[in-house]
Amino acid sequence: MTTPSSPRPHAPRSTAASSDGSGTPPCAHFGAAVLALATGGFAIGTTEFVSMGLLPQIAHGVHESIPTTGHAISAYALGVVIGAPVLAYFGARLPRRGLLIALMVAFVVGNAASALASSYGLLLIARFFSGVPHGAYFGVASLVAASLAAPGRKGRAVALVMLGLSVANVFGVPAGTWLGQDLSWRAAYVLVAALGLLTIVLVRAFIPAMPADRHATGRRELGLFAEPQVWLTLLIGAVGFGGMFAVYTYIAPTVTRVGGLSESVVPVFTLSFGLGMVFGTWVAGELADWSIMRSLAIGSAGMGLVLLVFWAVAPYGWWALPVTFAITTLGSVLVVNLQLRLMHVAGEAQTLGAALNHASLNIANALGAWLGGIVVSASGGYRDPALVGVGLSVAGLLVLLASALLHLRRAVAA
């Protein structure tokens, strides 16, 4: 058994190329294939986070308060949480390319419905269905990328797919925020739907047809839930990562109403979040080679500290900008190392394990946004969700400690 402080794992003995049953050789257009998959990640990352920068505009458009409209972000996250395990279960034996296209079709429909929503209730429903394909897409896309890669390059291929999510926060989210402020918040969702259509075209053109995993069964995937370490790892993400979303959800009113800055600088803050994600992904890889569990401890404890700093400096406008960068840097350390931890403890259920990581993180999304909204409604202070985030970070750190103690107990028993 791999120890918590072990370096980043090698690919499992049953590689993605063989585990999907396709025996697919390295792809002649590998770069284009990975770009197609990463484009889907870019579209998903854009729709997941653009709502946060446009929350005041969306609230005005559906005639609701900002805290209430923040629940639309929670609805998207709930869609991810429910959709990831359900679609991973039923899609385990479906052809990969067809499944990817079907997931993107559902994604396009959900975001088009978001753009057309005429009321708060319809918006909630549309955002929920927009989130349903999220986790399953990343799980399947990672398997496909690994199966198309040359030997020794499978991990890099999966990383390139995931990079689409981070890059979305550098380019897609600021662009969508700017578009939503200058034209209409609905235009941001139209942009995302167009990116989804582009993904469908690219996947159809560059991803070769391949059969699904012949050995996959829903029962085998569900065996993952018998491992307590899986539950503990998912709980670390669901609770400890919520602090970032407690702040990110209300970043627009915090910047303008607390920091006293103009609405036009909100995209600068969302860009800072995105740059922190890209930088944090690189840092996370370096830390994982040293120790996965210690990296998780650094991410959880560091997140709590920087959220406390954010609460302190939010009234001083631009002083909060570097703190937002630090928040997502540490958040990315958590995301990557939680994924690696799940790879250790998921056993043969790699597909469901990969999808559940995104489900866990979107529980954090929903929890952070919901608790932040409650605090804002009670206190009227838009910087107060940062204090909620501090508490969530501490709770995640305690769950991490429980996971480490369980591992040590098993090691002693062995």
Residue ranges of domains in the chain:
21-216, 217-414
Angstrom distance (rounded) from CA 90 to CA 109: 20
Cα-Cα-Cα-Cα dihedral sign, residues 227, 228, 231, 232: negative
| Rama region for 372: left / alpha / beta (φ>0; ψ in -120 to 50; rest) | alpha
Instruction: Give yes or no for a contact between 365 and 73, defined as CB atoms under 8 angstroms apart.
Output: yes
* Fold match flag (21-216 vs 217-414): yes
> Which of 352, 330, 161 lies closest to 248, judged by CA?
330
3-state class (DSSP) for residue 371: helix
Query: pTM for this one?
Result: 0.72
Angstrom distance (rounded) from CA 134 to CA 82: 10
pLDDT tens, N- to C-terminus, the chain (414 residues): 444 444 444 444 333 334 334 444 455 578 888 899 999 999 999 998 888 778 889 998 888 888 888 888 888 988 888 898 888 777 767 788 888 999 999 999 999 999 999 899 999 999 999 999 998 898 788 778 877 877 756 656 766 777 788 888 788 888 888 888 888 999 999 999 999 999 999 999 999 887 766 666 667 777 778 888 889 999 999 888 888 888 888 888 888 888 888 877 887 887 888 888 888 877 776 777 678 788 899 988 998 999 999 998 888 888 888 998 999 889 888 887 887 787 678 777 766 777 788 888 878 877 888 888 888 888 777 888 888 888 999 999 999 999 889 888 888 887
3-state class (DSSP) for residue 166: helix
CATH superfamily of 21-216: MFS general substrate transporter like domains (1.20.1250.20)
Secondary structure letter of residue 256 according to DSSP: I
3-state class (DSSP) for residue 272: helix
Angstrom distance (rounded) from CA 273 to CA 384: 19
| Architecture category of domain 217-414 in CATH | Up-down Bundle (1.20)
